[in-house]
Structure 1
Amino acid sequence: MSATAAPGDDAPGAFAALTPGRVLDALSDAGWHPDGRMLQLNSYENRVFQLFLDDGSAAVAKFYGPQRWSDAQILEEHAFALELAAADVPVVAPEPMPAERADLRRVRLAGTPPTLATELDGGFRFSVSRRHAGRAPDLDDPAVAAWLGRFIGRLHAVGARRPFVHRRTLEPTAWGDAPRDWLLAHDAVTPAERAGWQAACDAALALVHAAFARVPGLRLLRLHGDCHLGNVLWREVGDDGGGPHVVDLDDACNGPAMQDLWMLQPEGPHAAASWAALLDGYRVFMPLDERELALVEPLRTLRMLHHSAWLARRWHDPAFPVAFPWFGTPAYWSQQTTQLREQVELMSA
């Protein structure tokens, strides 16, 4: 895989200077008091660390990729998370920085309240949240699916209050056409598979655009944006905050409600009952435009293309070849071609 970085992508080795000592120093400068214990958590786009503080509590620090988001986009994500938390929607929101203890000669704080810190020497930006544990919800249980649907409905009820101004909007051109064009322009698709992949991609995108065109006046609202089961944690009833809560609003965007629902579509013998229960639960708090049910496969198609371009654009980050060794191979692009052809069949049915 030899794709090069595009404008807005982080340069190779962007996180190389983020040593454990620098992480601890940055937290201290922002007014936190880490005791030195630190564990790096799984994250590709950013660098995320669990740290313990002098008072014995645990916190999670997220250091943002230097060029992915602007300060305004990050702060808009933070404000959405805090708005959800204020509405009692369980979400892992950023903690206000302890500004009274911060060394403002070394960090700059931003946000109201301040939730984003930036090193003045080096420029790494970071936020801090409290540690939240949980497991994936059991979507085979219709009662759990209904609860999860109510949860997403509550999240969307807040999201519908106003749009994002600085963050992206999910629509076919940005999520489908642009990734296709970037992959082709940067020769990311292996030569033998290029023609077949491009033909399948063009056919799929034509159907995606047609599907969106059949939903005039499509309502767009603030979404989680990446609401798969890895970002939804379930706490047992009886625990503090039992039930679902979401983490990682890094991909929050404007988009159709179905984007936060289709990735939770159950599989297995109880899939139909659980899917119906999830949608019924959603309708308790938010009306569902039934036309959006026809966008499930178009949205899945957009995610496929967006994901391929995301991997290719970040291949220069040493974490990616290690985590995704199969990406960019002839077998990968052949599989993508097959899956796009399957999407064409599903969207044509």
Structure 2
Amino acid sequence: MNDSAFTFQTLHPDTIVDALFEQGIRVDSGLTPLNSYENRVYQFQDEDRRRFVVKFYRPERWSVDQILEEHQFALELVNDEVPVAAPIVFNDQTLLNHEGFHYAIFPSVGGRQFEADNIDQMEAVGRYLGRLHQTGRKRPFASRPTIGLEEYLIEPRKLFEDAPLIPSGQRVAFLKATDGLISAVTERWHTRFDTLRLHGDCHAGNILWRDGPLFVDLDDARNGPAVQDLWMLLNGDKAEQRMQLETIIEAYEEVSEFDTSELGLIEPLRAMRLVYYLAWLMRRWADPAFPKNFPWLTGEDYWLQQTATFIQQTKTLQEPPLQLTPMY
């Protein structure tokens, strides 16, 4: 795949309309871009006033088998009555192709933003995450990766070594902070958990509220520990996070058992996400959308802040992990 395709420069509106027409869908509105940097996602209305979302996958990110595993997982969840946005099947296929681009079409699902500070909503999310994980435990992904140190820390560290985006004056301090963080995570990371298929990126922005939660965007689905789908929902100070965690787990355990020994992985997982996210920005810098939307990545202040963030997270990893309130 050439660079112009990799950065979506050849994905024109006419290309999108033609791809949809091949599936018998006539676009009768504009193509409204939705917030997605990794892929290209558009909402539209057809001539029968039905609303859809079309998602064009970034070339060379996932293999066909990996995308199909995402789709199969979504369809299994729907079959198990877990509220997720699943792709529409066209002629027994969910993954479609047009001019070298893989894409999928979804029903457009509206909803309000999930309120992370709403206890009732948090309980419902915890309950449905338990059901999502019941489906995820039936079998692991065969093609998609498993969360681990190599992908989230070791490979990004290699990328940082000669990354031109890091100012020369900040490089030594930043790499030292990175190495300290990797060392702290490595000491605390373990794989003594039951591996299951996960949503993978379960933060508040990927949950809509429609008289209950609706999980969207399984693009980062992969194997890993159950706690990966819980910790990103936590916010605030330690006391607030403990209360939120207790709410989620109590509801979760109404339908699925949760291994509390995984709580010790929350801060390692947070650190791994910090490092992986920064490497992701670097890898996507050739896409014109990234310099446009992340201009601060070229500034020295940003790298000073990242160095400080890595140092602080290293200190956090030295503290006792978040625990539930003991029951007497």
Please tell me whether residue 169 in structure 1 is matched to residue 157 in structure 2.
no
Task: After superposition, give the CA deviation of every residue in 1:105-127 in whole Å (9 maximum; x if it has no partner).
Answer: xxxxxxxx3001112xx211110
1:273 alignment partner in structure 2: 243
The partner residue of 1:218 within 148, 168, 193 is: 193
TM-score by length of 1: 0.87
Shift of residue 234 of structure 1? 1.0
Higher RCO structure, 1 or 2 (CA under 8 Å, sep 6+) = 1
Task: Count residues in correspondence.
Answer: 318
Identity of aligned residues (%): 41
Distance 2:21 2:77 in 1: 28
Offset, 1:149: 0.8
Aligned equivalent of 2:326: none
Pick from 82, 94, 115: which aligns with 1:115?
94
- Once the 2 structures are TM-superposed, how far is the Cα of residue 10 of structure 1 from its aligned partner? 5.9
The one-letter amino acid paired with 2:215 is V
Q: Is the 8 A contact 1:9 1:68 kept in 2?
A: no
Asked whether the 8 Å contact 2:116–2:204 carries over to 1, the reply is no
Alignment of 1:80-99 (within 5 A): 80-97=73-90, 99=91
Counterpart selection for 2:39 from 46, 66, 78: 46
- Looking at structure 1, the residues matched to 184 and 230 of structure 2 have their Cα atoms a distance apart, in angstroms, of 21
Counterpart of 1:51 in 2: which secondary structure? strand
Q: For residues 167 and 267 of structure 1, what CA distance do their matches in structure 2 show? A: 32
Contact kept? 1:92, 1:245, Cα under 8 Å: yes
Query: 2:7 touches 2:288 (CA, 8 Å); kept in 1?
Result: no
Q: Are the counterparts in 1 of residues 6 and 58 from structure 2 also a CA contact under 8 Å?
A: no
User: How far, CA to CA, are the matches of 2:24 and 2:145 in structure 1?
Assistant: 32
Q: 2:221 aligns with which of 236, 252, 256?
A: 252
Q: Which of 260-269 and 143-152 deviates more?
A: 260-269
Kindly report the root-mean-square deviation, in angstroms, between the aligned alpha carbons of the 2 structures.
1.8
Cα distance in 1, alignment partners of residues 197 and 138 from structure 2: 8
Shift of 1:16: 1.5
Cα contact 1:44–1:319 (8 A) shared by 2:
yes
1:333 aligns with 2:323: no
The residue matched to 2:112 in structure 1 has which SS? coil
CA drift of 1:36 comes to 4.5
CA 1:247–1:123: 2 relative to 1, 3 Å: same
Deviation per residue, 1:132-187 (Å, 9 max, x gap): 11222222232221111111111111111101011111111211111111121434
If the length of structure 2 is used for normalisation, what is the TM-score? 0.92
SS of the aligned residue for 1:34 comes to coil
3-state SS of the aligned residue for 2:88? coil
Residue correspondence of structure 1 range 256-335 to structure 2 within 5 A: 256-267=225-236, 270-335=240-305
